[in-house]
Amino acid sequence: MNDERFVGGDTLTINWAGAEPDALREKMEILLAIRLPNGDRYEFPAHATPVNVYRNILSRYFGADLPPLEERNFVFASEAEPWRFVEVTDILRAPHGSVPSAARNAGIR
């Protein structure tokens, strides 16, 4: 599809705010490969988001004063409202097969 509306975005119409927890986990997974100077190793926390990985590296190697931010995950509410976000952090951290009560109350399965 050569339509610039789809560059960098989902080409499927999926309601991520109402997606199943396993689908959300799959959407949020990323491949992050980092090669650090001198063969240093960086142990990622279990729920690390890229924003804090980069903040840690910039602080550690470049002296930036960047304390970590709260680890949170969001999806957009709908394609009609891409500026409105729904937090899905608790859903992503819940054990597989369970859904936190806040998500159930918000209508997220």
What pLDDT band is residue 65 in, cutting at 50, 70 and 90? Answer: very high
pTM of the model: 0.64
Distance between CA atoms of residues 19 and 7, nearest Å: 22
Mean pLDDT of 34-63: 85
What's the token pair of residue 28?
Answer: 């949020």
Q: According to the model, what pLDDT value does residue 105 have? A: 46
In this model, does residue 67 exceed pLDDT 90? yes
Q: According to the model, what pLDDT value does residue 4 have? A: 54
Q: According to the model, what pLDDT value does residue 108 have? A: 47
Q: According to the model, what pLDDT value does residue 109 have? A: 41
pLDDT tens digits for range 83-106: 899 999 888 888 776 665 545 445
Which runs of E-coded beta strand occur in the chain?
74-78, 81-87
Query: Cα torsion at 89, 95, 99, 100 (round to 10°)?
Result: -60
What's the token pair of residue 90?
Answer: 């608790």
Closest CA to 60 of 34, 39, 42, 86: 42
pLDDT > 90 in the chain, percent: 14
10 Å Cβ neighbour count for 16? 19
- List, as own/partner pairs, every contact residues 4-7 make where C-beta atoms lie below 8 angstroms and the sequence separation is at least 24, other chains included: none
- Give me the domain span that covers residue 83: 4-105
Q: According to the model, what pLDDT value does residue 81 have? A: 84
For the chain, how many structural domains are there in total? 1
